[in-house]
Structure 1
């Protein structure tokens, strides 16, 4: 799975000084590598380099880190056991789980998210693997900077209040890097009656009127913080799923998407699976873009079918949200309704512009409930949203819209 790398701008230093990062891994090679990377960044410093979760718990008060990069498999006390103990001692600690790519570790990473970890990152199977270390390096630094920076600004990165994610049984993997964490402020889409401001952050941003057409499909794009947000939304989305297809692109690699689809099925109590190339799109089902493939839709006779694309990354991601959004406008035009949830970067904004230009509607998650207000913030600042809502208001709003409410 190829991922394009991009340079990241360095935020200006704050009065609090550089971000303090605690590296916890039983591999001296990995600890040394990550410590060198952090040490070369002007806005972060290695606060401690430790071998076990027990050392991390015992030294937390002395080290006082802003961010912990926590391995899963370690002696004495592994990452999943250390996680709640670390958060009990310092609730605003940003914990990024790191693991090698096994099915078990992928499932543990999901469990860690429900226990309060801010994010996860896969370690390359071999640091000699061409490009693997570079991707790991870039993605890790971006996550530390973005999540650690937000925690400093707002006090902490609040975990999503989503249903517990119990480990199911199927395949695993590595998250696609989600680069360009800044909120992009592109030019707004032309005209359209503006609607009253919705509840949630984003006050003062223009709102567009919802489409006059009844929506026939729900498209969802998400990234960092997305699994928990998706779980929360689909739990109360039964009336929509029963009558309309739901297509989701979450920035995530192959085995993780398999597991996520199982969790979505359990939370929604509706059929959910990784999309299959050529399968018809039907009401009553959730289709998830498989890791490493862009998901699109196309006409095949009288049917709308899934098209999986193995092309290059879009917005540095594969799967990406924009290809799904763009292709949907050709099928459903103004009956397209898109939701952009928490995530780094601006993926979904360009596709969202196309949806609005075709007469459809876009909803974004608000800043206060987003782990990272990159993707939804880009859409909100582009002026393409008909509503900017807190996470707990999104499902009820969708149910009303698909029942005929146009306000």
Structure 2
């Protein structure tokens, strides 16, 4: 089993040294080189053939945003983790880097009090992402291929400012007693781009509310909500204490706070909790989904998109067992098929879909007419097998009815 080859790119000598030392101490990682700016990094990629790059956002000569664009022209699937400051400017630049093709990000440890604490933060946050994104390398798989052929580009259509066409629908909520009254979306690694492929496609005056938990730190979630809102037909807000959860609006859980819904009289309101992390996450998808089931019972649609780990599995099981619906993103379109993969393998997903089909699936289920509450309505071949890139999974849990 060979080690993961990492190239560290940062203009600060101290940061390059710290990151390199922490990574090199791991027996599964080899730091093959370092670069002080993007121009040097592009040369070293050719020379050193790394399996993954850590990339600073702000650098002289060629910054991280310019560099990621150039990387994607030749190396479409090479994992790139942005290493950015936890500031307004750093957050905006990181989101822009993700839309331009960066795979994930880690915030630089700042004001942590000591070098040892900063090093531990890098071990806890950066190393697990490196190992997850390079799992194939640890299994002796070939290094990432250059662009072309069947390589999956990581860049979003949103990043290229391509207009997004909303799903054409008649905006009347479904009359079935099983039609969802809320859509709850959970995601992590790769989530910002996945959300940019889903939320802007929802039609204006969408007849139910949408709640979103994306694993992100404070301020990043606000910036993500603002970006989604600018590109979408429904308003998207970072949730605040006491917000009334109304149809036609999406709420994003704020960083470092669980989003918990509570029913008060005839309204559902958002409450924010700093209860302990779940699945090592705060906000956690499972926490949000538990509260969704408490407020809406089986009238909920859980959508689990790309992400590391299994946050969202337990909550989606609760949605399923209450009589609600569950969708999961497929492996081919996921940056990391952790969260949706666990849901798919648990047999609770009504459908496993490429990211481009998720918005249409959400709309069709919200606007369903009386029929089987979990009808997936897949396109089928004459033999009855699902066609296209979506897959409809039979339930392996009791009490479900399927077509």
The TM-score bracket by the shorter chain reads 0.7 to 0.9
Alpha-carbon distance in 2 for matches of 1:244, 1:403: 10
Alpha-carbon distance in 1 for matches of 2:308, 2:77: 20
Partner in structure 2 of residue 368 of structure 1: 332
1:8-407 matches, within 5 Å, as: 13=1, 17-126=2-111, 128-129=113-114, 131-150=117-136, 155=145, 158-164=153-159, 213-238=178-203, 242-404=206-368, 406=373, 407=375
Alpha-carbon distance in 2 for matches of 1:49, 1:236: 41
Alpha-carbon distance in 1 for matches of 2:215, 2:250: 16
Q: Does 1 or 2 have the higher relative contact order (CA < 8 Å, sep 6+)?
A: 1
Q: State whether residues 165 and 263 of structure 1, in contact with CA within 8 Å, keep that contact through their aligned partners in structure 2.
A: no
Q: State whether residues 202 and 233 of structure 2, in contact with CA within 8 Å, keep that contact through their aligned partners in structure 1.
A: no
Q: State whether residues 160 and 225 of structure 1, in contact with CA within 8 Å, keep that contact through their aligned partners in structure 2.
A: no
Q: State whether residues 22 and 122 of structure 2, in contact with CA within 8 Å, keep that contact through their aligned partners in structure 1.
A: no
Alpha-carbon distance in 2 for matches of 1:87, 1:232: 19
Alpha-carbon distance in 2 for matches of 1:351, 1:89: 40
Partner in structure 2 of residue 6 of structure 1: none
Superposed CA offset, 1:349-393 (max 9, x none) = 001111112111111101111100100011111121111111111
Shift of 1:259: 0.8
Extract structure 1 runs of 4+ deviating beyond 4 A. Answer: 129-132, 150-157
Partner in structure 1 of residue 169 of structure 2: none
Q: State whether residues 4 and 51 of structure 2, in contact with CA within 8 Å, keep that contact through their aligned partners in structure 1.
A: yes
Alpha-carbon distance in 1 for matches of 2:321, 2:352: 19
Shift of 1:57: 1.8
Shift of 1:403: 1.2
Q: TM-score, normalised by structure 2?
A: 0.81
Alpha-carbon distance in 2 for matches of 1:41, 1:58: 26
Superposed CA offset, 1:306-328 (max 9, x none) = 11111111110111100110011
Alpha-carbon distance in 2 for matches of 1:27, 1:64: 23
Superposed CA offset, 1:52-73 (max 9, x none) = 2221122221111111111112
Q: State whether residues 100 and 156 of structure 2, in contact with CA within 8 Å, keep that contact through their aligned partners in structure 1.
A: no
Q: State whether residues 76 and 152 of structure 2, in contact with CA within 8 Å, keep that contact through their aligned partners in structure 1.
A: no
SS in 1 for 2:113: coil
Superposed CA offset, 1:201-247 (max 9, x none) = xxxxxxxxxx97111110000000001001101121116x5211001
Q: State whether residues 327 and 349 of structure 2, in contact with CA within 8 Å, keep that contact through their aligned partners in structure 1.
A: yes
Q: How many residues align?
A: 347
* CA 80–281 in structure 1, closer or farther in 2 if over 3 Å, else same: same
Alpha-carbon distance in 2 for matches of 1:157, 1:93: 10
Alpha-carbon distance in 1 for matches of 2:209, 2:36: 47
SS in 2 for 1:400: helix
Alpha-carbon distance in 1 for matches of 2:132, 2:219: 25
* CA 381–27 in structure 1, closer or farther in 2 if over 3 Å, else same: same
After superposing the two structures, state which structure 1 stretch, 297-306 or 132-141, moved more. Answer: 132-141
After superposing the two structures, state which structure 1 stretch, 75-84 or 44-53, moved more. Answer: 75-84
- Structure 2 unaligned blocks of 5 or more: 146-150, 162-175, 376-403
* CA 386–89 in structure 1, closer or farther in 2 if over 3 Å, else same: closer
Q: TM-score, normalised by structure 1?
A: 0.81
Alpha-carbon distance in 1 for matches of 2:6, 2:246: 47
